[in-house]
Amino acid sequence: MTDLSKTPADATATGHPMVRAENVHKSYGAVHVLKGIDLEVRQGEVFCLIGPSGSGKSTFLRCINHLEKVNAGRLWVDGELVGYQQKGDKLHELKDREVAVKRRDIGMVFQRFNLFPHMTAVENVMEAPVQVKGESKAVARERAMSLLERVGLADKARNYPSQLSGGQQQRVAIARALAMKPKLMLFDEPTSALDPELVGDVLDVMRGLAEEGMTMVVVTHEMGFAREVGDALVFMDGGVVVESGNPREVLTDPQHERTRAFLSKVL
């Protein structure tokens, strides 16, 4: 049952958050994964989520674009409810086609790259604009080449995923997400599947996006990136927000014992 008790006054006001979560719960059967998440991501902010495996970080990220449906609470992206429409005091779940339309504005980069193996790098980046937005192949190709250049892979445009390193595949995946011109980018531990020497190139691309003002929610174990690039940081454990604040302050002087114990193992 979804909680319908409140509608935020700022949901349609100027300056609303890019992401707002209010008492978000998610369960899989008897397993309660998210236990009342409340947070806001401002427009243009790099918002980092850290915490141990199983703390609910990736599940929450997937709820933002309705890849997972919340069991209670509400999520808004850019002032609009995620996955639902309100009529009176009730929420009505949107049809899959309507959800897909709204999801166009949210780019997502996964741990695994999920590239189409039978398509070249440039074809992977072109695919969604052509198939979903109806762009001409010529326009989509030009933009795809520009994006591959942006992530440092213009010379790999005709290569297939099997011919690329993991870091290169992840940068193609970022370019593919950007091809839809999203207003929000979600990163689910984008470097966790990479060899250590390949991590830097991917993080450099993400730094560039941050400098350009892209709103980003990043689930990460890269504490250096969170400290250097992040505007806000949340430490999650057991499906709840344990601690939040400025990344440099939280990482340097955590206030909660659970945060201190976690950071002692990863810093």
Residue type, 161: P
Q: Measured between alpha carbons, how far is 17 from 26 in angstroms, rounded to an integer?
A: 22
Q: Measured between alpha carbons, how far is 20 from 40 in angstroms, rounded to an integer?
A: 5
55 closest CA partner among 241, 257, 231 = 241
| Tens digit of pLDDT at every position of the chain (267 positions) | 344 333 333 333 447 899 999 999 999 999 999 999 999 999 999 999 999 999 999 999 999 999 999 999 999 999 999 988 888 888 888 898 888 888 899 999 999 888 999 999 999 999 999 999 999 999 999 999 999 999 999 999 999 999 999 999 999 999 999 999 999 999 999 999 899 999 999 999 999 999 999 999 999 999 999 999 999 999 999 999 999 999 999 999 999 999 999 999 998
Rg over CA atoms, the chain: 19
Question: 50, 220 in Cβ contact below 8 A?
Answer: yes
For the four alpha carbons of 163, 167, 170 and 176, in that order, the dihedral sign comes to negative
pLDDT of residue 71: 92
Enumerate residues 6+ apart whose C-beta is below 8 A from 29: none
86, β-bridge pairs: 91
pLDDT of residue 90: 82
Helices in 119-256 by DSSP H: which ranges?
121-131, 137-150, 166-178, 196-211, 223-229, 247-252
Q: Measured between alpha carbons, how far is 85 from 92 in angstroms, rounded to an integer?
A: 5
Tokens in use for 151? 């992530």
pLDDT of residue 194: 93
